[in-house]
Amino acid sequence: MMRLPRLEDLPLEEGARVLVRADFNVPLREGHIEDDLRIVTVEPTLAYLLERRARVVACGHLGRPKGVADPQYSMAPVATRLGHVLGADVALAPGVVGAEVDAAVKALAPGRVLLLENLRFDAGETANDPAFAVALSALGECYVNEAFGVSHRAHASIVGPPQTLPCAAGRLLEREVEELGRLLDNPRSPFVAILGGAKVSDKLGVIRALLQRCDAIIVGGAMAFTFLVAQGAEVGASLVEPDMVDECRELLATGQVHIPVDVVVAERIEADAPTRIVGARSIPGGWMGLDIGPGSAAIFVDLLGEARTVLWNGPMGVFEVEPFAAGTRAVAEAVAECRGFTVVGGGDSAAAVREMGLADRIDHVSTGGGASLELIEAGDLPGLQALREGRAA
């Protein structure tokens, strides 16, 4: 896989200001962090910098505040949790860029961390505004990208700083590229990919890319129903993308794509809704498929049992609601049992294996769902390209 500049390549004199772009987009409920994985995983990189007495200016985004300051998306909870992880207070800057932020950075002592406010409070972040990128870059003397989960976005904080600052990949980003690269560079066969989620259109590109590498692709989740319609099935009120039916028919013709043979159906997505298990090709009118059935799960588990390389991205159903969780649970357990190299590609699948206590039995659980799929599809990401083409240390 591609070589990226490493932390060891940076000119880190004591007191050097290092701008670290992390992926701090953690799930919040009523101001409390529900899952701190994205904070915990940045610790090795920050520890390396702090041991060398760098002055760390960390930054990231939270939610979608749409270019304006919004208190509900403040980075304050992240600063508090990051402080607990590091065992030292993390100060929160009074903004993203500007005179007050410049003053806070200037006052930062060696071996300490300052966290900028939400990058997306400034519209220049997602617009990749050159002026915003310049102002942000001015806060550091070196730059580290530790935000794999956002590196498929050509945003200002991702692609701007490497143009002017000595740059490097953080430990997490480096490991993500290395582990996901094993899926691209001569993966062991049989290679089985499991894809779920709502829309075929969201994953059409990665399906086509995986067909060049995989022996089998298992399709579950709501997107399976568009494939079923392509076979002439009756799918009731299940989600379908009519403009993707022809594409699905072509994919099925490869013989590599496996879709459900039975499904769990209900008339509403609620824990107390009456359910049935029916053949996937004959869902009653008004009922919708919300999980794969036990017959499908058994077929998929058998395929995974023979696999020597596995990629899983996307649940098999609405696993957050218990009556529709069995399919995702069966697949998660089969991936954990697999003797081959296993990767869970972020997002809901990563959440599922963590909730089920299976994460430590997966070889690599990615922190970036969309980024992992785009890397597999395109073989590169804007953030990685920016590091490779950036200013040498």
> CA-to-CA distance for 347 and 350, rounded, in angstroms?
5
Check if the beta carbon of residue 175 is closer than 8 Å to that of residue 365: no
Closest to 245 measured CA to CA, from 229, 259, 234, 224? 229
**Known catalytic residue: 347?**
yes
Q: Which of 6, 52, 53, 199 is catalytic?
A: 199
> CA-to-CA distance for 373 and 161, rounded, in angstroms?
25
**Known catalytic residue: 370?**
yes
Q: Which of 124, 347, 368, 383 is catalytic?
A: 347
Check if the beta carbon of residue 125 is closer than 8 Å to that of residue 61: yes
Residue 60 to residues 13, 208, 307: CA-CA distances in angstroms? 24, 32, 37
Check if the beta carbon of residue 261 is closer than 8 Å to that of residue 293: yes
The secondary structure of 258-296 as a DSSP string is E--SEEEEESSSSTTS-EEEEETTEEPTT-EEEEE-HHH
Q: Which of 124, 327, 370, 383 is catalytic?
A: 370
Check if the beta carbon of residue 140 is closer than 8 Å to that of residue 57: yes
State the distance between the two ends of the chain, measured CA to CA, in whole angstroms.
21
User: Coil, strand or helix: which one is 73?
Assistant: helix
Question: What interhelical angle do 294-306 and 326-337 show, nearest 10?
Answer: 10
Alpha helix ranges (H) inside the chain:
37-40, 43-51, 76-86, 99-106, 130-137, 156-159, 171-184, 200-211, 224-230, 245-252, 294-306, 326-337, 347-355, 369-378, 382-389
> CA-to-CA distance for 180 and 344, rounded, in angstroms?
10
Report, as residue numbers or ranges, the catalytic residues. 38, 199, 347, 370
